[in-house]
Every structure is written in structure tokens, then in C-alpha cells.
Amino acid sequence: MDRKRQAFLLALPASLALLVFFIIPMVYILFKTIAENGFSDFVDFFTDPFYLDILWTTVRVSLISTAVSLVLGYPTAYFMARTKSRMKKVMIIIILFPFLVSAVVRSYGWMVLLGTKGIVNQFLLGIGLISEPLKMLNTEFAVIIGMIHLLIPYMVLGLLGVLQSIDPNVEYAAYSLGANPLQTFAKVVFPLSTPGIISSCVLVFTMSMTSYVTPKLLGGSKFRMMATMVVQEINVSFDWGAAAAISYILLAVILVIQLIVTLSTSKYMKRMGGGKNA
Amino acid sequence: MRDGHVNLLCKIVAILVMIFLVAPLLIIIVVSFTPTAVITFPPQGFSLRWYANIFTGTGKFMSGLVNSLKVGVLATAIDVFVGVFGALSICRYNFKGKNVLLNYFTSPMYVPSIAFAFVLLQVYSQIGGITGMTRVFIGHLIIILPYIVRNTVSVLHVFNWTLEDAAASLGANPIQVFFKVTIPLAKPGIVSGGILAFLYSFDEVALSSLLSSPRFVTLPIRIMNYMELTFDPTLAAISTLLILASLIIIVLMDKFVGLDMFMK
């Protein structure tokens, strides 16, 4: 058997499975939606303030969650990359541990903490800081907290990979040439870690844009993001055309972001001269 | 050291992040032992009644667990073959469009699972007569495939293919070469990809919630359904068991395959 045929046969099962169960259904339903209703569901989405508001909420929550995850995740990853203490191992386990725990369970933990009769309110009432329980659960705030909890491990692991590959001697060199810690960070560490920052942020932002469990459980029935809206259109409004429009628009947004980032990072890498750390 | 307080600041942030990550999980474990139906903190006493309620209550958690294991094990087992073959086809041979093929095999990662779930739901409703288990299984089969392909490729990428030739020149036939040389060397990627894929399937919600039938419901959906009706500490008890299972998995993985696999 020649090698070309071997390669073809090995690639066949995965190719066929993806074609039959993934590509064909995705394309078929898109054409079916357009054939039945034209582009009206898509036009509705972009002309109805109700839907535009959901898109904006999704983008806003994702931007805030990504930004906070980056701001908290970067120093964490930096500390983990540079420390030689045994704490690093413990921290890696703590980072990976919630990573393996279902999003349902993690959201439940926040429900117990943030509910009206939840532990945070019990505590604040107990010490007399507030006289009425705060409404935290079923708000955007709770969704963002839950989202950050979900995303930080991905952010830290992504950044850790890049920061570990930066030689600490580069930083010592900057110090010995008279740079202060801020300058060293701004001119040496940060630029070298930019590829990792971009790829981690895109990953985390995409996960947030498409997340379903966290907004459903922590946002309540009146809080709507794109993914929860798809399910509402199917189960509550029985509007499959709208569900299709939201699904494919969400997909398009994700693909456009991926495309922009792939194109711009490849340009950036060229300018940086290849980029070994990518 | 001049950068002393920068490091101190990073350390403080890192410790706060660790507390933030662990706190909700620790809280769940503590409240699972509450004797009362209303959750108070710290709990007034100690009781295992909510653990008993997992098995005797209305949640049907055990049938959910069995269903989740069925789908997860079956989808992972099939995808290990499909995915490893696919990874081999990319890494073992030289042809144009290797990157295109890799992107094709990992393409389900880029599609929101809720969008894919909706598409499958519509296709199934047109075909009709497909059982809940098959509906969920096909969805999981597709979305976990990228993890196995990607992790296997990352090992095969640095694989020394002359080892295969060496084995062949020493008289091994192609099947012996495959099972005694190629597969053992690719094992770390296959095992880590398989574990990630299984965990993804086990925790998956978007596809399972749209595609499951009343007779076939997976564990995460059982937990979510229970939450909507009753918000008692049974949820904390079942969650604690899931947290402990994750802890055991992580300790076993650290011991046998190492935790580096997550850091790629």
C-alpha cells in the first residue's frame, strides 16, 4: 500500500464523521433558514433594539470579564513563572482543579454565596454593614463574577506558557542597564508576552461570548446573552427562525474575530522577525 | 532586590486569585453537611441527610450519572481511534494542505456549541425517531474530537519517525511497528487528549440540554433541572461528590501522566 493511500485511509474516518454530522448539518440548516424565510430573521436581528441589546450585553460582559481576567491573571502567571518556591505546584493544582469541575457546580457555588439569603448577605447583615440584603444574584454582576471564575484558569495557563519561555536574564539585563521595574515591564516583559496575551484574550473572550451555563444560572430568566437567547427562542417563543439567526450571527462574530486575530498576529510576528515564542 | 515590591504585589494578587478560585468550591463542601434545608454559614450542626437524599430523593441523579458515563465513555472510545488516525495522517505523511486538514479536524472548537446544538436539533426533528442517547452522543462525538486530535498532534509533531524505520529494519512488520513503537510513543498525547475529551463530554451542558429526551437526561442537566425546582443542600452534596471526583482525577494524573499536558 503506497503512503498516499495510507494517509488517505487514516484521515477518512475523522473527515467523514465531521462532514456528515457537522459540516453538512451546519450548511444545510443555514440554507434551509434562508430558503424558508429569506434573510428576514437576520434583518430582524440587526434592526430590533431588543436583539441588538442582547448582542451588546454579550459583548460588554465578555469584554469586562476578559479585561478583569487579564488584569488579575497576568500578575498571577508572572509570579508562578518566576517563583522557585513549592507554592508553584500548589497554585498549578488550584488553577487546574476548578478547571475540571463542571460549570454547573461552579455556578452553584456562586449562587450559594451571592443569593439574597446567601452567605455574603448573611455576613454583611451579621456585621451590620447593610440593613437589607443586596440583590447580587440574577444580575449582570453575578454573571461577570461567575465568568471571571471560569476564565481565569485559561488566562493564567495561557500566559504562564509565554512568561515561562521569557529568559529571566533578559530582565536582569534591563535592570543592569538602569531600567526601573516599570520600564522593564513596559519595554521588555510586556512586548515579549504580547503574542500570549492576544491568544489568551481571544480564547477567553470567545468562551465568554458563547457561554451558556453561567449566564443562565447566575443571570436569571430576565438576563439574556446570545447563547441563552437561542434556547429561549426554541423553548419559550418557539421561533426557530430567530434561533437560527442568533446561532449563525454568533458563529459569524466568532469566526470574524478569529480571522482578524490570525491575520494581524501573523503580520505582527513577521514584524518581530519570526517570533519563536508564539 | 529592586524589583522586590513588584514581586510582592504579584504574589499578593496570585494568592487572592487562588482564594477567589477555591472559595466557592470550599463553601459548597462545607454547606453540604448542613442539617437544615436553608443554607446557613457556618452550618448549625452536622448531617449526612443530603447525601442520602442524592440516592433517595427526586433528583434521579444516579440515572443521570449512568447516562453521562455512557455517552462520555462511548464518544471518547470511538474518538480516540478516529482522532489518533486523523492525527497520524497529518503528522506521518507529507502532503500539501496538512494545515488545512488540521484546521478541518479541529473546526468544531470554533463553533459555539449552542449553535451546533440548535442545528442538530433541527436536523433530528426532520429525520425523526432518533433516541435521546444517540442525539446527545453524535453531538459529543463531534465536539470532543478536536481535543484528541490536537493533543496527539502536539506529541507526534516532535516524533522521531526514523524509529519506525529502525523497527522495520529489525524485522518488525507494519502492525508490530504501529502497536509497539508508534502508539507507545504517542501515548502521552492520546491519554491527555482522551481525558480532556471525556471530561468535556461529562460536563457538557449546551448540547445535552437541547438534545436530551425525557428518557435520556445527563447528570449536569439533572442538576440544573433540580435547581429550578428545589434549592436545597442536596445540590451541595452532589456537587461535593463531583468536586472530590475531580480532585482524585487530578491527583492520579499528576502521579501517572503529569500535569504538563494542560499547559500547552
Q: Which grid cell sits at A260?
A: 482578524
Answer positive or negative: Cα dihedral of A214, B235, B117, A232.
negative
A25 with B239: Cβ contact below 8 A: no
From A251's Cα to the closest Cα of chain B, the distance in A is: 6
Question: Is the Cβ–Cβ distance between A79 and B10 less than 8 Å?
Answer: yes
Q: Which of A225, A223, A213, A234 is nearest to A59 (CA)?
A: A225
> CA–CA separation, B214 vs B132, rounded Å?
8
- For A156-166, b where at least 16 C-beta lie within 10 A, e where not — what string? bbbbbbbbbeb
A3 with B89: Cβ contact below 8 A: no
Q: Which grid cell sits at B258?
A: 503529569
B14 with A80: Cβ contact below 8 A: yes
**Interface membership of A170 toward B (CB under 8 Å):** no
Answer positive or negative: Cα dihedral of B216, B222, B226, B229.
negative
Compare A6 and B121 and report the one with higher pLDDT: B121
Residue labelled with grid coordinates 465568568 = A147
Q: What is the CA radius of gyration of chain B?
A: 23
Which residues 6+ apart lie within 8 Å of A239 measured at CB? A233
pLDDT of residue B264: 53
Task: Provide the 8-state DSSP code for B50.
Answer: H
pLDDT tens-digit series, residues A18-69: 999 999 999 999 999 999 989 999 999 999 999 999 999 999 999 999 999 9
Res A76 pLDDT > 80: yes
- Alpha helix ranges (H) inside chain B: 4-31, 49-56, 61-91, 98-106, 113-127, 132-156, 162-169, 174-177, 183-203, 206-211, 219-229, 234-256
Res A178 pLDDT > 90: no
Residue labelled with grid coordinates 494542505 = B97
pLDDT of residue B1: 45
For B143-193, the three-class secondary structure string (H helix, E strand, C coil) is HHHHHHHHHHHHHHCCCCCHHHHHHHHCCCCHHHHHHHHHHHHHHHHHHHH
From B208's Cα to the closest Cα of chain A, the distance in A is: 12
Report which residue type is found at A69: S
pLDDT along chain B (264 residues), means of 10: 72 96 94 87 86 89 96 98 95 87 94 96 93 96 96 87 88 87 88 92 95 94 92 93 91 80 61
Which residues 6+ apart lie within 8 Å of B35 measured at CB? B43, B44, B45, B46, B47, B49
pLDDT of residue B3: 55
Q: Which of B76, B98, B80, B81 is nearest to B89 (CA)?
A: B98
Res A273 pLDDT > 50: no
> CA–CA separation, A12 vs B219, rounded Å?
33
**Interface membership of B199 toward A (CB under 8 Å):** yes
Residue A272 banded pLDDT, cuts 50, 70, 90: low
Return phi, psi of residue B216, to 5°.
-130, 100
> CA–CA separation, A56 vs A46, rounded Å?
11
DSSP codes joined into one string, B25-42 = HHHHHHHTT-SSSS--SS
Q: Give A-chain residues touching B113 at CB under 8 angstroms.
A: 210, 212
pLDDT of residue A270: 62
pLDDT of residue B263: 62
Res A79 pLDDT > 80: yes
Phi-psi region of A48 (alpha: psi -120 to 50; beta: other; left: phi over 0): beta
> CA–CA separation, B148 vs B150, rounded Å?
6
pLDDT of residue B235: 94
**Interface membership of A72 toward B (CB under 8 Å):** yes
| pTM score, whole prediction | 0.91
Q: Which of B231, B164, B107, B128 is nearest to A18 (CA)?
A: B107
A10 with B141: Cβ contact below 8 A: no
Task: Provide the 8-state DSSP code for B62.
Answer: H
Compare B1 and A152 and report the one with higher pLDDT: A152
Average pLDDT over chain A reads: 90
Domain ranges, ordered by start, for chain B: 1-58+232-264, 60-229
**Interface membership of B74 toward A (CB under 8 Å):** no
- The ipTM is 0.91
Q: Cis omega before residue A75 (within 30°)?
A: no
A11 with B86: Cβ contact below 8 A: yes
pLDDT of residue A89: 86
Domain covering B60-229 assigned CATH 1.10.3720.10 in the classification: yes
pLDDT of residue B262: 64
Res A277 pLDDT > 70: no
From B88's Cα to the closest Cα of chain A, the distance in A is: 7
DSSP codes joined into one string, chain A = --HHHHHHHHHHHHHHHHIIIIIHHHHHHHHHHHHHHTTHHHHHHHH-HHHHHHHHHHHHHHHHHHHHHHHHHHHHHHHHHH--STHHHHHHHHHHHHHHS-HHHHHHHHHHHHSTTSHHHHHHHHTTS-SS----TTSHHHHHHHHHHHHHHHHHHHHHHHHHHS-HHHHHHHHHTT--HHHHIIIIIHHHHHHHHHHHHHHHHHHHHH--HHHHHHH-TT---HHHHHHHHHHTS--HHHHHHHHHHHHHHHHHHHHHHHHHHHHHHHHTTS-TT-
Question: Is the Cβ–Cβ distance between B73 and B198 less than 8 Å?
Answer: yes
Return phi, psi of residue B213, to 5°.
-105, 165
Chains A & B: contacts with CB separation below 8 Å: 248
pLDDT of residue A278: 36
CA distances from B182 to B73, B190, B204 (A): 24, 11, 32
CA distances from B219 to B64, B68, B123 (A): 4, 6, 24
> CA–CA separation, B223 vs B148, rounded Å?
28
Residue labelled with grid coordinates 457555588 = A109
Compare B193 and A269 and report the one with higher pLDDT: B193
